Amino acid sequence: MSIGADLAGKKVLVSGAGTGIGRGVALTFAEYGADVVLHYSHSDAGAKSAAEEIQAMGRKARAIQADFNDVDAVRELAVEAESFLGQI
């Protein structure tokens, strides 16, 4: 199903991207051309697997763990994401 979107050159951060809807959203953004940072809390294997799938599409992708209950961890997620993709 095409939504007619062209996200080439766009950069996104998807939270909860290790499983379920978050994983699906991350993969869909990549299918439409975006580079993706995949946030996960506990789903290390799922997020890294999704990142590998995205990289196989020729897109940039990185899985980054962060606990959203920890303000410092969220800040570090933002710093890592920006370091990897540039300004999001």
Instruction: Please spell the DSSP secondary structure of 15-84, one letter per residue.
Output: TTTTSHHHHHHHHHHHHTT-EEEEEESS-HHHHHHHHHHHHHTT--EEEEE--TT-HHHHHHHHHHHHHH
Is residue 54 in a domain?
yes
pLDDT of residue 1: 47
Is residue 4 in a domain?
no
C-alpha to C-alpha distance for 64 and 34, rounded to whole angstroms:
17
Is residue 6 in a domain?
no
Tokens standing for 28?
């869909």
Is residue 45 in a domain?
yes
pLDDT of residue 41: 96
pTM exceeds cut of 0.75: yes
Is residue 76 in a domain?
yes
Is residue 67 in a domain?
yes
CA 27 from chain centre, in angstroms, equals 8
Say how many domains are in the chain.
1
CATH code assigned at 28 = 3.40.50.720
Walk along the chain (88 residues) and give the pLDDT tens digit of each residue. Answer: 456 689 999 999 999 999 999 999 999 999 999 999 999 999 999 999 999 999 999 999 999 999 999 999 999 999 999 999 999 8
pLDDT of residue 5: 81
> Residue 32 sits in which domain range?
11-85
Is residue 5 in a domain?
no
